[in-house]
Amino acid sequence: MDDAPKRTGARGTGQYYIWANPDKREYIDDEPFGDSGFTLGCSTAVAQPMTDAACTMIAGPWHGDTVIYVGDYWTEDSFDDERSRRLFAKFDGYPYEDILSRFENVTGHFDEARGHSCSDYLHSEERGDIFDEEYTGPFDLRVRSWHFAVNRTRHEFVDRRQGPISNVYRWHGRYEFGRIDPTVLLYAMGPVDDEWGGRWCSDLVDMSDNAPEQDYRDVTEEASASWLLGPTIVADDSMVERALASDEFHAALAARGSSNQLEDGKDIPEALEVLASLLGASHAEWR
């Protein structure tokens, strides 16, 4: 692992992830999509461009293939379960190193990659500096953000836009909130629980703007809960917005010493607990 290629640029601490297709020996890079889709926390946000790019590949060139969101902490000893062992066996040794050293970077499929530098470890010997050349195409795809991810193998689906509330923060004088897109968790091999982490990697999955037939099970809340550290809050946008704008919410935050949060987009301590207590007391009063 000491000889693994290192990613460049200023990164925070924690685990890095990369979307890969071990069947085709291909991967896509995060840099053309805002350079922020490389951690689990960022990539679970609704409408995260890198996650949408991965879903575009799953619906297109990678449809029906094994697709994994590979964490750089994932080793043979990470999980003692059949799924992890089966997926791990698709790589030659340490998966993250195998991807960067031996897989083809196919990010150039995306029109969004025009003008961006291509990180190409696979061809580094003949190309020299692997970060100086730009993607050359074929630029035959554009990132699309589908509403639903539908698993045809398991007859399950997730709503990519209406997952549980993931965080509350201040921005432009308002309390705002984010939601979880659990699609990422269903493909992630890293610190996600044994039941949901990587659950869909080997399945046939479609992307759609329409909810599937009635015999499909909605696993949005269950899959999301595997990642949430706080309460699981499922409520529509208007209900949450009313609660966040209420005097009760502001007073409860102040009582907990969390009301003087900077408008920096960072999570507000204990805000989810306050929101959950307000919405849980009586959903009707926020409708």
Q: What is the pLDDT of residues 179-230, one digit of tens each?
A: 999 999 999 997 666 789 899 999 999 999 999 988 999 999 999 988 887 7
Say which amino acid occupies 23: D
pLDDT at position 7 over 70: no
pLDDT at position 132 over 70: no
Share of the chain above pLDDT 90, in %: 57
pTM of this prediction exceeds 0.75? yes
Residues whose CB is less than 8 angstroms from the CB of residue 64 and which lie 6 or more positions away in sequence, other chains included: 204
Angle at 18 between CA 86 and CA 143, to 5 degrees: 115
Question: DSSP H helical segments within the chain, as ranges?
Answer: 40-43, 49-59, 82-88, 95-102, 124-127, 183-187, 220-225, 237-245, 247-255, 271-281
Domain map (residue ranges) of the chain: 15-231, 235-287
Identify the pLDDT of residue 139: 97
Identify the pLDDT of residue 121: 65
The residue whose two tokens read 């935050």 is 253
Q: What is the pLDDT of residues 145-164, one digit of tens each?
A: 999 999 999 999 999 999 99
Residues whose CB is less than 8 angstroms from the CB of residue 170 and which lie 6 or more positions away in sequence, other chains included: 176, 261, 262, 263, 264, 265, 268
Helix (H) or strand (E) holding 188: strand 188-189
Say which amino acid occupies 219: V
Pair type for strands 174-179 and 165-171:
antiparallel
Q: Which long-range contacts (CB under 8 A, 24 or more apart) does 110-114 make?
A: 110/28, 110/32, 110/53, 110/56, 110/139, 110/141, 110/142, 110/143, 111/139, 111/140, 111/141, 111/142, 112/32, 112/33, 112/49, 112/53, 112/142, 112/143, 113/32, 113/139, 114/139
